[in-house]
Structures are given as structure tokens and as C-alpha cells.
Amino acid sequence: MTAQILDGRAVSVAILDRVRREVDEFAAEHGRVPALATVLVGDDPASRTYVRMKANRCAKAGIDSHRVELDAAITTGELVSRIRELSADPAVDGILLQHPVPDHIDERAAFEAIEPAKDVDGVTRASFAAMAFDEDGFRSATPGGIMALLDAYDIPLPGRHAVVVGRSPILGRPVGMLLLARDATVTYCHSRTAGLAERVAEADIVVAAAGRPRLIRGEWIRPGAVVVDAGYAGNTGDVEYEEAAERAAFITPVPGGVGPMTIATLLAQTVRAARAHQTRRSRGAVPVRGEAMTKARDNYLLDLAASRQGYALNRLCGSLKDEENRRRFLEDEAAYCDAYGLSAEQRKAILERDWTAMLELGGSIFYTFKLAMLDKKSMQYLGGVFTGMSAEEFAAAMRSGGRKFG
Amino acid sequence: MARVIWGLATSHVPSIGAAMDNGKTEDPYWKPLFDGYGPAREWMAEHRPDVAVVVYNDHANAIDLDLVPTFAVGTAESYDVADEGWGRRPVPPVVGAPQLSEHLVRELMDSSFDITTCHRLDVDHGLTVPLSVYCPDPGDAWPCAVVPVLVNVIQYPQPTAARCYALGEAIGRAIRSFPQDLKVAVFGTGGMSHQLAGARAGLINERFDRMFLDAIEHDPEKLAALSREDYIAEAGTEGIELIMWLVMRGAMSGKLARIHDTYHVPASNTAAALALFEDLGEGASA
């Protein structure tokens, strides 16, 4: 055997050490540790094992893991709504939905219920788009881990021919794009590719991501190539290991290659998400449970009871359509509130700009929006406040087709 | 006699007006929406009405929560453009059609719609944005007079979709019984799916919107049968504005032809759409 081992286990240990230090710094600064919610649907033994491994690694890195286990018979709607709760939960920094989910569930709908700012496994459309455009965002964990592994061994990428076998939306497709972003020349192969052997034989770098054990024969590997095997059927990869290792310059073992890197990437991204989450909180964009800002209910209907309750508040906000009133409000907000006979809670909500509390106290968005505009805050900013996102994240969610429910 | 020549359904999102006012219609964010308007605008420019009956809702500008009329008709000779809290849109004042307003009010009363009348009404984006969708460059004056028809969609309970459709039918009959030889366009504004507040803020339901865009032509009764709870659940707390499209649809004669439609996400926080129908006239009534 000639190939050098791309030792994912060793590299991941180094990454996890770094994650552990970052978690300690985070905890010292913010008085809490990052939190990852793992969602497991059904009782597939392999999935259960993966989730348990991820939870164990979290514990070792000092990350709080919050396990959500759901019955296999759950509907797509119920799953989406549970994930959406986690997306809105200020105590959760990252969300992992273990896949595959049972066949009757619309996996894409479930993935899209993950708030992009918490998509540490990189499975949402928003994350895919950010990755495809080479912008900041969370990478799909396995492709991200593969790139980190190649980098750990200083494998040169620019100008080299990478052949990716497999085209799944969370593995094959993204890993090809990440390689492309690093100036590799990328060929995608898949189950319908004609002449797979010839294609693989042209590769400087082979990424096997088809999920078909021993699909890729060792004899196809060009001498001196780099072989990354992301296959995951039991302990067998997509590549004939022994034969390939005779020809390759570098090769990942299965297990101990790509797998540990996936988990390390997931945890590193969880810490990143927690930092960004904390920054949004400190800007006041995220309602934090037990702190000043109020958490929004699904819908606010301005019925007659709300209209009665919110009368003074809405009247005050409505008065801001008059330029002279805008000037007087800005001059002395508290005095202006007193003149409109607000309740103590309404007064506090206005002065502290607790936009959700205003709604809880009978405010109508069409009235409170006039106050927001006086503050130069957009409807996207308010949308972010109600949903626990920054204005930019909310606007991005709108640009990607809006938020889907049910 | 007056007749309805076309009906236009269009979203009235304020930022659509702001994009036009600030010369942003060629920006990548806005261009797809305005490109989608193109064919409808060309057709409407060749089919100018004398009066536009614009069915819309006020957004805390002319109407506050002291008095909330369910259905109201503007009866003034002119309507100022409202300052909604961030200055007036730089568009011309709106000229009324008081004789047609009077006729509509009387006919609607006789059809058992107990209408509120507005002699002074500052018109907000709910009315001016649809006018801009029709006519992007009005210069000093809009190319038609306007009768504003207001529907309460903000305070619960809003009128039912069925009642809005019936109001539209009564408006159509009233227009067609007006003794002047006027060409009238009817605008149904607002929608499509959107929700501004609450944890469901940002809701878009393209499946529902596409269904609605189709059924507004072929099966308005189906849309009229939906409850306000259906509208809120499917199209969002503000998506209930779509009931105002049914007023426009009700005012059309039995036979109509779809000239153009377009659908785009997002305009600000809203799924924006336009659907333009030519009214083929009474004789063609189904």
C-alpha cells in the first residue's frame, strides 16, 4: 500500500480542541454555552447512532445538545411546526435534522423550516445558495468537512481535475461547488453517467459520494490521485479501499475519514451560529426569553377587544402621520405618551420599542409601523423582530420566496 | 350609458410606489416585477377609461379606529394624497367623479348596501399605488377621474368574501345604469398572500395565490365561499385584502377575457400580482 491516509479522526480532534477553546471563551463572555438541537424522526438504528455520536461530541466540546425525538408517524406539518418552534427558540443556536427522514415526510419542507441563521448542518436553500455564490453561510457539513480535510493535508486544488461521483443536494452537488470555488476543474458523475471508469481515471481528485458500496473500483484510480470516500454504508465506502490505496497518493479510510470531519464541521458551525446569534440578541433584534423583548404569537387579529385595548396606543402611533406631531414626539417621547393616556405597559412598550409587546397590547401593525418609520426601521426589520431574525436575514428569506407554513 | 371596459386586480404594496417614485424600477430587486407589468400597461394605455372605480382599504391614514366603515364610497370632487407618516408620494392629487359617486351610493343603498360616504378623504398608497401600476408617468394629472370605494380589511370582523363579491355585482349594475356615456375601469387592490406581524410574518403561500389568480377569472364563487378564517390561515393576516379583488370581479359582466397577469415574490414582504381582464360586455353575459 502506498497511499498516505487522510486521517479525518486526527484532524477532527484538532478541530474539536479549537471548538472547545472557542466554547470556553464564548461561555466566559456570555454566561452560557452554545446549544445545538438535534431532531430525530423515527427509530432507524443508524440514524439513532449518528445522533448519539453527535450528542457525545457536543458534550466533549462543551456544547449543550438538546435532543428532540419524534415518532415515525409524525406528519410533515407537525414536524415542520416543531422545527419552526426550535427556529424561533432563543435558547437554540443551531438545528440539525437527522436525515433521511421517513418516506412519507417531505424532507425539503422540513429542512426549510430551519431558520437559515441556525442551519449549522447547511441543508436549507438559503445555505445552498450562499455556498453556491461563495458567500458567507453555513456549509453542508460533510462537504465542509471534506474541504477542511483536504486543506489539513495541503492538497493543492487550483487547476486540478476533481471528479465528484454523486449529486445529492447535501453532499455531491455542494462538494463540487466548493471545489469549483477553489479553482478546481469539476466533473460531476452519477448513476446515469456513461463510462464512469474513464471519467474517474481522469481525476486528480476523486470524491465518492454516491452511497453505493464499492461502486468505484481501485483499478480506475489514476496513480497519484487523491481519493475522498464519503460513502457511509456500515463500514464500507463507495471505493474499493485496498485496491485504490495501492494507486492513490492520499486516501480517506472508512470509517475514520470523512465521518469525523462532518461532525467537527457541524460543531464548529454551531459555535459560529451562537456567536452570530448573540450579536443579534445584543442588537435587540432577537426576542430573548426572560429578557425585555416579548415573543410573538403566530397571528395578531385586530378584533374589537384588541381595538378597545389598543385604542390609545394606536391613536398615538396614528398621530405620527402629522409632521408637527412627529416633531413633538421626538422632542419628548415620555410626555407625548402621557398626553395620549397610554397604560403603563403600553408606555413602556413604546418607549422601549418592544414591537411585539405593542401587538400584545392591542397595537395594529399599520399604526405601529408609523412609529417604526419614524425610527427609520423597515417592515423587514419588524418582520425580523417578530421572527427572531435580523432585518437582513428576514429580507433574504423574503427574496428566497418568503416563509412557508403548513 | 356607462360601461365597464376592464377590471384590474393588483397588489398595492407601498414600496412598489416608492420604487417608482425613487427611480428604482430597473434595480435587480424590482425589475422582474415591473417587467411583468409591461404588457398590461401597454394594453391599458390603449384602452383609457374616463373613470376608475378603485376598491381599496385605508391604512390608518384617512380612517382611524374611531369610526370604521365596512364599505364606504368617496363622494368628493377631489382627494388629496395622504402623508402616511413619511411625507406625501410625489403624485398628482386625485380628481373625483362626484356625479358617478352619487349614483353609485344611491344604487347601492337601493341594493341593500348601506354605504358610508366620505366627503373628505386623503387617499393613501392603497389607492395611489394601483393608479401608478396603471399609469406610471401621470405628469401633472392622472389620466382618469376616480371613485374611491373603501373596504374595511384591517379590523376584525371584515366583511365576508361573499358580501364583497355581491357588492361588486351591485357596483357593476350601478355603473351600467349610469346615464352618461362613460368608460369605467374597476380596480380591485391588495394581496396577494402576506403577513406583516406575528411569528408568521413573512408568510407567502404561492399555491394559494396561484389558485386564486386562476379562480378569480373562472370560479369567483369558489373564492366567495371562503371564510375570513380561510383567508387569514392561507394568505396571512393581511392577505385577507384579496376579498377586494372579488369586488372588482363582481363588477364585471358575465363574459371577460384575461389580457395579462403576473406574479412575483417578493415586493417588500408581499407576494405581488397583477391580473387584467377585458370586460366583453352585457350581451356576452353568461
Cell 449529486 sits on residue:
A167
> Looking at the predicted structure, is the pLDDT value of residue B284 above 80?
no
Mutate to test the interface with A, among B204, B205, B231, B234 (most CBs of A within 10 A): B204
Q: Does A231 or B120 have the greater pLDDT score? A: B120
Its CATH class, for the domain covering A9-121+260-282, is alpha beta
| CATH code for the part of the protein at A155-256 | 3.40.50.720
Tell me if residue B260 is catalytic: no
C-alpha cell at B77: 370632487
Cell 430597473 sits on residue:
B26
Mutate to test the interface with B, among A293, A322, A367, A398 (most CBs of B within 10 A): A398
Render pLDDT for A34-73 as a digit per residue (tens, 0 to 9): 999 999 999 888 888 889 999 999 999 999 999 999 999 9
Alpha helices in chain B (DSSP H): 14-21, 31-45, 98-110, 125-134, 161-176, 206-218, 220-224, 228-235, 243-251
In the three-class reduction of DSSP (H, G, I as helix; E, B as strand; rest coil), residue B176 is classed as helix
- Asked if A138 has any chain B CB less than 8 Å from its own CB, the reply is no
B202/A398 CB distance under 8 A: yes
Cell 431574525 sits on residue:
A389
For residue B115, give the nearest of B80, B147, B79, B155 by alpha carbon: B147
pLDDT at residue number A406: 67
What's the mean pLDDT in A183-198?
94
Q: What is the mean pLDDT of chain A?
A: 91
For residue A78, give the nearest of A116, A50, A118, A41 by alpha carbon: A41
Q: How many Cβ atoms from other residues are within 10 Å of residue A339's Cβ?
A: 13
Distances (CA, A) of B109 to B113, B115, B169: 5, 7, 13
Preceding amide of B32 cis, omega within 30: no
Amino acid at A213: P
C-alpha cell at B145: 377621474
| CATH code for the part of the protein at B3-284 | 3.40.830.10
Tell me if residue A98 is catalytic: yes
Name the pLDDT band for A191 (thresholds 50, 70, 90).
Answer: confident
The span from the CA of A298 to the CA of A276, in Å, is 25
The ipTM, to two decimals, is 0.95
A304/B155 CB distance under 8 A: yes
> Looking at the predicted structure, is the pLDDT value of residue A85 above 90?
no
- Asked if A359 has any chain B CB less than 8 Å from its own CB, the reply is yes
Q: Where in chain A is the domain with CATH 3.40.50.10860?
A: 9-121+260-282
B201/A307 CB distance under 8 A: no
Render pLDDT for B165-224 as a digit per residue (tens, 0 to 9): 999 999 999 999 999 999 999 999 999 999 999 999 999 999 999 999 999 999 999 999
Render pLDDT for A323-332 as a digit per residue (tens, 0 to 9): 999 999 998 9
pLDDT at residue number A386: 95
| Nearest chain A residue (CA) to B59 | A366
pLDDT at residue number B35: 97
Give the strand order in the sheet containing A64-70. Answer: A64-70, A35-41, A94-97
Q: Where in chain A is the domain with CATH 1.10.700.10?
A: 304-387
CA count, 13 A, side-chain hemisphere, A259: 18
CATH 3.30.460.10, domain A304-387, yes or no: no
Render pLDDT for A16-37 as a digit per residue (tens, 0 to 9): 999 999 999 888 888 889 999 9
- Asked if A109 has any chain B CB less than 8 Å from its own CB, the reply is no
Residue A298 has its nearest CB partner, among B155, B199, B205, at: B199
Contact A66, A6 (CB under 8 A): no
Render pLDDT for A238-249 as a digit per residue (tens, 0 to 9): 999 999 999 999
pLDDT at residue number A363: 97
- Asked if A80 has any chain B CB less than 8 Å from its own CB, the reply is no
CA A270 to chain centre: 8
State the nearest Cα–Cα gap between A324 and chain B, in angstroms: 11
CA A317 to chain centre: 37
For residue B53, give the nearest of B88, B8, B10 by alpha carbon: B8
For residue B116, give the nearest of B76, B150, B82, B147 by alpha carbon: B150
B196/A397 CB distance under 8 A: no
The span from the CA of B164 to the CA of A292, in Å, is 42
pLDDT at residue number A283: 64
Contact A259, A49 (CB under 8 A): no
Contact B171, B248 (CB under 8 A): no
Q: Does B79 or A287 have the greater pLDDT score? A: B79
pLDDT at residue number A1: 57
Q: At what angle do helices A258-282 and A45-61 cross, to 10 degrees?
A: 60
C-alpha cell at A171: 453532499
Tell me if residue A54 is catalytic: yes
pLDDT at residue number B219: 96
Render pLDDT for A192-229 as a digit per residue (tens, 0 to 9): 999 999 999 999 999 999 989 999 999 999 999 999 99
Residue B84 has its nearest CB partner, among A296, A321, A401, at: A321
- Asked if A301 has any chain B CB less than 8 Å from its own CB, the reply is yes
Lowest-confidence region among A82-86, B228-232, B242-246: A82-86
The span from the CA of A364 to the CA of A318, in Å, is 10
What's the mean pLDDT in A172-200?
94
pLDDT at residue number A14: 92
The string of DSSP codes covering A57-114 is HHHHHT-EEEEEEE-TT--HHHHHHHHHHHHH-TT-SEEEE-SPPPTTS-HHHHHHTS
A394 burial (CB, 10 Å; 0-12 / 13-18 / 19+) is buried
The span from the CA of B160 to the CA of B170, in Å, is 15
Q: Where in chain A is the domain with CATH 3.40.50.720?
A: 155-256
Lowest-confidence region among A145-159, A222-236, A308-322, B16-30: A222-236
Contacts 24+ apart (CB under 8 A), A251-255: A251/A3, A251/A4, A251/A5, A251/A6, A251/A226, A251/A227, A252/A5, A252/A6, A252/A8, A252/A149, A252/A227, A252/A228, A253/A5, A253/A6, A253/A7, A253/A8, A254/A229
In the three-class reduction of DSSP (H, G, I as helix; E, B as strand; rest coil), residue A377 is classed as coil
Render pLDDT for A86-134 as a digit per residue (tens, 0 to 9): 998 888 999 999 988 999 999 999 999 999 999 999 999 999 998 888 8
C-alpha cell at B190: 391588495
Q: Which residues of A touch B86 (CB under 8 A)?
A: 373
Those residues with Cβ within 8 angstroms of residue B54's Cβ, 6 or more apart along the chain or in another chain: B127, B130, B131, B146, B147, B148, B149, B187, B189
For residue A364, give the nearest of B15, B150, B64 by alpha carbon: B64
| Nearest chain B residue (CA) to A314 | B65
CA count, 13 A, side-chain hemisphere, A258: 26
A242 burial (CB, 10 Å; 0-12 / 13-18 / 19+) is exposed
The span from the CA of A20 to the CA of A6, in Å, is 23
